[in-house]
Structure 1
């Protein structure tokens, strides 16, 4: 591209697209472009000198040649470094030709000195190029500092995106120069190459083995880039123990050995620092503080990250939200009630979200999940003389059978009370409800009916889970990948 015909083509294309001015290097390129465009041209000459680090328009003869070629503004290196000709003399030479002047500065002190020499425009052109490693981003702070000295600041240097150009304008730039992003095809190609290489590396990473251990069943899946490749379901043996549950999952996923790089385990109960313990033994009885991550690593021969299942699901639902939300509370209502909180984009761990153990919504009669969940619904049916499991109770409620509707309504009312309390405690953007009970036919409308009378500011925005039963798997896979890549979740 280093020929006058190409430079003139770039110049005409830029003007056709709305460029207000052009910055052109060398007398021969200014001379080639001048007849093709009517916008102002900033002219510079670049030279590599043995006795000075100054490269941009260092000589009086450069000023003469650029002026004769048709430049409207002459730009100079204005840094406080050893130079062949003083800045003031260059400014005077440009003025003698009736031309405006621009100072290419590296600092605020350069700009002050240039203005004292009578410069018309100051630019950030050399910020980051005088000493030290070259930064990646434009010097927005220097633009703002210069704008406090003069309104005629030209932002230049590493401005590669429209967003960066707009930021420069907001910082006070009178004009913005974009160079390499338009004319240096080898640079822009490299930016795209590097971005794509990173994306393809990420896409080519080994899948995650994601495991969700629940009170009645466990699921395992190979997950890559948020998508489930293969999945298997394993019963959680009643009366069993964690070693037995892990062994069963390992046997069911043996064909996947070697295909995953790390393992994420989402488990009901409290999971902290890789250790697992029960908070409600009626849901799943785990003896003591079981070293879940350590034991699982011995079964699956890969790094393991473990977390509470509802917290993992909260993260999965947060990542799946199509609209921008910063704060989410997730409730999974199934064998028990689990929950997770994402506040300002960060997942809360530890005890946060264990709403099933709260007692307010149950009137203090015991953990809320014992008065709401699937076991409670089936138990209530038996107490009333009906031989019906939980799905049968919901089916009967849908048919309008009063005994079943009463059970489901009672459960939904308690969940509504919990959601209203959550709104007051966390003020989340949305409360997302999932789980076999939470997503059962007619359950969420009943919850919403119980909230309808609340003032709008106090009424939580209730949503159905998007990921369904896969939320925990998707969330723990993402968290496990981050933990494996960064050493932390």
Structure 2
């Protein structure tokens, strides 16, 4: 039976560890720091910076640290046993040694494996020594059994270490599960970043243990070395294709830089098989230079299948197995996405602020892409051109906001010309051209205002032959000012120009 003073001491210690950072000062065995002065130095440095407690391995190091500070210490002893996989404080003698050395909390392996001493016996021995116990668990069942024996704390220390490949990230979900059993949850294991520590706290951990990321110089050095080696390795070369309704662009891309490009006209009367064959023929000279391919197409791509959203742009009957056919034809792994979505991703990767964006390309059609929370939304997300306009004539918006409509409207008024010639005529002040371009800008401005209200992106990036035509963006901005919307969209010209889709699909391919 616990004395009143013992109970008060336990409560005080638990309060000290609540919402706290615990630093594990365990040097690499046999490493340059594996000596008492270094362990004590790490411990005092951690405490001076705000750590509330320490996790120390071996009775020798616990005693050395205890002589230097009165801060709470979680003590443990590691052993490599032939007859059991249990390594953390496997024996009752270990409990006695740690208690004598000055540990306040004694940690032990609480996993359900072959073991020299039962979990219940260890818990009772720790309590008899007047110390608190920490059960290092691998799963929710370990914690249930440990708590049933009277363990004071349960930790996630053993998650990922009882078989199979070692995970990279901490087990945040286990923290949340343990929190349903007890408020005394200690998060430990593979917590290497500030964000991971915060995630552990938000999942319900009473306190968080960080070890290697703070006190193991060898591990931290290796992490940075590996990261730099990866950065300094030559980036893989990707065959990136932007298959549009008017032209097809194929490029070799390495690390976001376009190395070489070929452009060919898209035979709109052809078929997907024919378009892929034309791409393969045009890029034969590059075969062997790239290790992956990305294909951006007009229309929707889901699970590798391609279908038309507007057959007037490219006529595709039913669904076409784009990824499978392209992989067989090119002989490398292939990723496919909608062209505007790929361009949205390219623009997102090309900018440094990382803010959410909507990308819209106004060209043969009207496409779009959305990057939200740093993630590209795929499927049909961003197909703004397929939305219905306010005219009530049951035609999608892109039928009146695109290059073909500009040319068709000019022809209807007796002017046989391409969209760029209509823009030139508008710049020259020709009334018929001013009216055509003004109408497109007005409709597009309303769409931008609607998108701002629906999605509220930090910016709307405009690309495409029409979108980037001289003066068009200024006309759209003027129309938005005239509307005076309650939420003003921030319009920007695409920084990558016509390369946005190429750069974006190349990155997605990797």
| TM-score normalised by L of structure 2 | 0.71
1:83 paired residue number: 117
1:486 paired residue number: none
- Find the residue that maps to 1:86 and give its secondary structure: helix
Query: 1: CA distance between counterparts of 2:382 and 2:58?
Result: 65
- Are 1:468 and 2:497 counterparts? yes
Query: Map of 1:144-159 to 2, 5 A cutoff?
Result: 144=176, 152-159=184-191
- Are 1:230 and 2:260 counterparts? yes
- Find the residue that maps to 1:11 and give its secondary structure: helix
Query: 2: CA distance between counterparts of 1:122 and 1:294?
Result: 53
- Find the residue that maps to 1:364 and give its secondary structure: coil
Checking the alignment, whether the CA contact within 8 Å between 1:362 and 1:414 is kept in structure 2 is: no
Aligned-pair CA distance for 1:210? 1.9
Give the stretch that moved more between structures: 145-154 or 259-268: 145-154
Structure 2 unpaired stretches of 5+: 1-30
1:15 paired residue number: 47
Aligned-pair CA distance for 1:435? 1.1
Aligned-pair CA distance for 1:448? 3.4
Query: Map of 1:334-483 to 2, 5 A cutoff?
Result: 334=363, 336-342=364-370, 345=375, 347-349=377-379, 353=383, 355=385, 360=389, 364=393, 369=398, 371-378=400-407, 390-398=419-427, 400=429, 402-419=431-448, 427=455, 429=457, 431-452=460-481, 456=485, 462-479=491-508, 481=509
1:108 to 143, 162, 169: 143
1:178 to 210, 226, 244: 210
1:264 paired residue number: 294
Query: 2: CA distance between counterparts of 1:62 and 1:285?
Result: 75
Aligned-pair CA distance for 1:51? 6.3
| TM-score normalised by L of structure 1 | 0.74
Give the stretch that moved more between structures: 254-263 or 129-138: 129-138
| 1:74 to 1:247, Cα distance in 2 relative to 1, 3 A | closer
| 1:225 to 1:60, Cα distance in 2 relative to 1, 3 A | same
Checking the alignment, whether the CA contact within 8 Å between 1:213 and 1:266 is kept in structure 2 is: yes
Aligned-pair CA distance for 1:230? 2.0
2:35 paired residue number: 3
2:159 to 119, 128, 134: 128
| 1:154 to 1:472, Cα distance in 2 relative to 1, 3 A | closer
Q: Deviations over 1:109-140 (max 9, x none)?
A: 2442453xxx6x42416543785445554444
1:219 to 249, 255, 266: 249
Aligned pair count reads 466
- Find the residue that maps to 1:22 and give its secondary structure: strand
Aligned-pair CA distance for 1:254? 4.2
Q: Deviations over 1:278-318 (max 9, x none)?
A: 9455x567899988778766875555555553444344345
Give the stretch that moved more between structures: 45-54 or 465-474: 45-54
Query: 2: CA distance between counterparts of 1:92 and 1:302?
Result: 62
Q: Deviations over 1:438-482 (max 9, x none)?
A: 122322232233344657457665443333211222233344x25
Rg comparison, structure with higher value:
1
Checking the alignment, whether the CA contact within 8 Å between 1:45 and 1:57 is kept in structure 2 is: yes
| 1:41 to 1:409, Cα distance in 2 relative to 1, 3 A | same
Structure 1 unpaired stretches of 5+: 483-489
Aligned-pair CA distance for 1:242? 7.4
